[in-house]
Structure 1
């Protein structure tokens, strides 16, 4: 019973947050077009850079390059946790600013995002792992909001639902693709600096 109540509270909070963002976005004045440009980002789970390219007045394509930390990876057969290094990821995202766009690309948007993580290219890993995953990729759709904090600073949020990830693995016995069994909840919060 208590577990259901906590789930209900979380669902209610996320729904209220989504409705508040949509209402606030709809109330904003529309600017004519999306601005193309670079942005340095510090997110909840990563650091990276992105480039947003205007496609139409309310549509854009965004390319991301990020480094995601692997917080606690277990070496196969060893119960000790080690720092897993930083995994480089590449994302391509199509955005539609449904509320119009304000300076600094501030406003609410709907997005379709694909990602590719190059697991074998970990940087600064504390140990060599018996991990045969080479790359993983996925696709998600969601809602985001950019809030301008001045001329160059931006706060951003994104929540979405992603398909199960595909992973390519290479082992001494066999190579192949493996599909995950679960859908993914994608959450992104952070700040950005327009260059």
Structure 2
């Protein structure tokens, strides 16, 4: 009887150790939409808790007022690379919560480039300035059902404008804010 109990305890110990070795997925694809835009993304596994997110999207802007002279709507392409550290996967597994589709809390460094390409129309005297931003971000990602996701994040970082001579703002700031709430579909 004692060898049987010892084998049972060892078996459960091995399963417990294996369960604590939660991991991000090898690769996951999806699309997301938020208040101002639509994005397609891929997350590729770099380690058990780190994934590299690559993203192509269209960010939208609604504008109007004296500066531009008319109201309008434009979309601007965005290219993003973002290493994400999912720091609570083991805790989620221990609490019997989902980690599939990289569901968990994360810290990341979101690096986004906006080229000076505009889909829509601006007045002749108004230009869109290409930029790159690097924003440390905290966020959460959760799955609903088999394919649907939601994600939210917040961060403050740095933005660099490539054509500084085109900026007409008196108080230029090099701070960038990443505040997002997105709904998505995972393939």
Tell me which interval the TM-score lies in, with the shorter structure as reference length: 0.7 to 0.9
5 Å-filtered alignment, 1:134-173, equals 134-163=129-158, 165-169=159-163
Structure showing greater radius of gyration is 2
The answer for unaligned runs of 5 or more in structure 2 is 1-18, 91-98
Question: Could you say which residue in structure 1 is the equivalent of 2:185?
Answer: 193
Number of aligned residue pairs: give it.
Answer: 158
Question: Could you say which residue in structure 2 is the equivalent of 1:123?
Answer: 119
The answer for unaligned runs of 5 or more in structure 1 is 1-28
1:60 and 1:46 map into 2 onto residues whose CA distance is 23
* 1:110 and 2:107 matched: yes
The 4+ residue runs of structure 1 with deviation greater than 4 A are 73-76
Pairwise CA RMSD: 2.7
TM-score computed with the length of structure 1 as normaliser: 0.71
2:106 and 2:163 map into 1 onto residues whose CA distance is 35
TM-score computed with the length of structure 2 as normaliser: 0.74
Question: Could you say which residue in structure 2 is the equivalent of 1:59?
Answer: 50
User: Could you list the per-position Cα deviations for residues 116-154 of structure 1 after superposition, in whole angstroms to 9, with x for gaps in the alignment?
Assistant: 112x311132x4442344411111001110111011111
Contact 1:75–1:82 (CA under 8 A) maintained in structure 2: no
